[in-house]
């Protein structure tokens, strides 16, 4: 594997950053997870744009233009001969002194890793997964805004630990008001009749790229799409439920907190959207080769 770091490529065993990098010391940085399908990078422009928005929110100056960064992502895929896989794009505050002051960091670091990923077992996509709600509350918007895809993921990791303890792969996080925000790494949707509902960004949900794609696909299928606050009651009484994310794609949920959702099997709306999503990934994206 070849890893891009600040304009150069390194073998995986030699791909290193300084122990004084503030991305390591303080989680001071931003990142994107991107997918490649059939020799094309899916929704690359949208991911690059979200990266720049996250960086602007924390006053981090990315030392490359959007066009340069796009070319670097594609070239990293080429060097790794990646046709189907996962790309992790990271920008850190860079090497600095001990202490929080970001002004003492000399130069931001840009890192691109292109490899493979499998978040969930294949059986979960066919049979659906069980998830739970957890006690860890989603970050407040006026603390660490969930809209910022930052390197500080401890909030999500604490919730993931609770999921692991409960014996499931994912966990639902509620916001301080008790409304559903999102899962530890995925957005959440429910279907009720011909309506598709998902929490609004103001509830603490990340502006998911896959989330946006699914909303668009649902509208094309004639579904009414609604972004509104949801409670656990709404989830328990849904006809269908599924999660979305770059790594997860679309994965059905058939049980929440021990309650069976709908028929206990992935529903027709979920299957239809999975089918449409897979069709889209075959036909679009920035070509690698």
Q: Which pLDDT tens digit goes with each residue over 191-249? A: 999 999 999 999 999 999 999 999 999 999 999 999 999 999 999 999 999 999 999 99
Which whole number is the average pLDDT over 116-131?
92
- pLDDT, the chain, mean: 96
Position 118 pLDDT exceeds 90: no
Q: What pLDDT sits at residue 266?
A: 97
Over range 142-154, report the average pLDDT.
93
> Would residue 149 show up in a list of annotated catalytic residues for this protein?
yes
Rounded to 5 degrees, φ, ψ at 239 are -75, -35
Quickly name the fold that domain 2-115 has: D-amino Acid Aminotransferase; Chain A, domain 1 (3.30.470)
Mean pLDDT, residues 153-182 taken together? 97
pLDDT of 14 reads 96
How large is the average pLDDT for residues 109-114?
A: 98
pLDDT band at 25 (very low <50, low <70, confident <90, very high): very high
pTM of this prediction? Answer: 0.95
Q: 95 pairs with which residues across the strands? A: 21
Q: Where in the chain is the domain with CATH 3.30.470.10?
A: 2-115
- 5: which strand partners? 8, 111
Q: What's the pLDDT at 117?
A: 86
Nearest to 91 by CA among 100, 102, 80, 78: 102
Strands 170-174 and 129-133 come out as parallel
pLDDT category of residue 181 using cuts at 50, 70 and 90: very high
Q: 122-283 in CATH: which number?
A: 3.20.10.10
pLDDT of residue 171: 98
> Rounded to an integer, what distance in angstroms lies between the CA atom of residue 75 and that of residue 5?
13
Q: What value does the mean pLDDT take over residues 96-122?
A: 94
Catalytic-role residue among 79, 149, 220, 272: 149
Task: Give me the mean pLDDT over the 130-157 stretch.
Answer: 94
Whole-Å CA distances, 13 to 16, 31, 129, 225: 8, 21, 35, 46
pLDDT band at 270 (very low <50, low <70, confident <90, very high): very high
Span 55-64, mean pLDDT? 97
Mean pLDDT confidence for 99-114? 96
List C-alpha distances in Å: 101 to 12, 41, 93, 95, 97. 30, 36, 10, 12, 8
- DSSP track, 121-142: -HHHHHH-EEEEE-SSPPPPTT
pLDDT, position 119: 83
pLDDT band at 136 (very low <50, low <70, confident <90, very high): very high
């Amino acid at each position: 594997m070849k890893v891009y770091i600040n304009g150069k490529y390194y073998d995986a065993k030699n791909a290193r950053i300084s122990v004084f990098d503030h991305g390591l010391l303080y989680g001071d940085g931003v990142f994107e997870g991107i997918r490649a399908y059939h020799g094309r990078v899916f929704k690359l422009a949208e991911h690059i744009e979200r990266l720049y928005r996250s960086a602007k929110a924390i006053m981090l100056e990315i030392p490359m233009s959007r066009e340069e960064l796009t070319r670097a992502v594609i070239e990293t895929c080429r060097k790794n001969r990646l046709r189907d896989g996962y790309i992790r794009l990271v920008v850190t505050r860079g090497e600095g002194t001990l202490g929080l002051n970001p002004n003492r960091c000399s130069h931001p670091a840009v890192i691109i890793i292109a490899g493979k990923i499998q978040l969930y077992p294949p059986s979960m996509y066919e049979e659906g997964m069980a998830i739970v709600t957890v006690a860890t509350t989603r970050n407040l918007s006026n603390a660490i805004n969930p809209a910022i895809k930052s390197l500080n993921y401890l909030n999500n990791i604490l919730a993931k630990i609770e999921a692991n303890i409960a014996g499931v792969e994912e966990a639902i996080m509620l916001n301080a008001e008790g409304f559903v925000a999102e899962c530890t790494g995925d957005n959440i949707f429910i279907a009720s009749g011909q309506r598709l509902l998902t929490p609004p960004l103001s509830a603490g949900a990340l502006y998911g790229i896959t989330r946006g794609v699914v909303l668009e696909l649902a509208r094309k299928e004639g579904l009414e799409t609604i972004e509104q606050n949801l409670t656990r009651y709404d989830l328990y009484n849904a006809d269908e439920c599924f999660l979305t994310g770059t790594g997860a794609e679309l994965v059905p949920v058939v049980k929440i907190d021990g309650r069976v959702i709908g028929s206990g099997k992935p529903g027709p709306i979920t299957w239809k959207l999975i089918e449409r999503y897979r069709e889209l990934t075959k036909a679009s994206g920035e070509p690698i080769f």
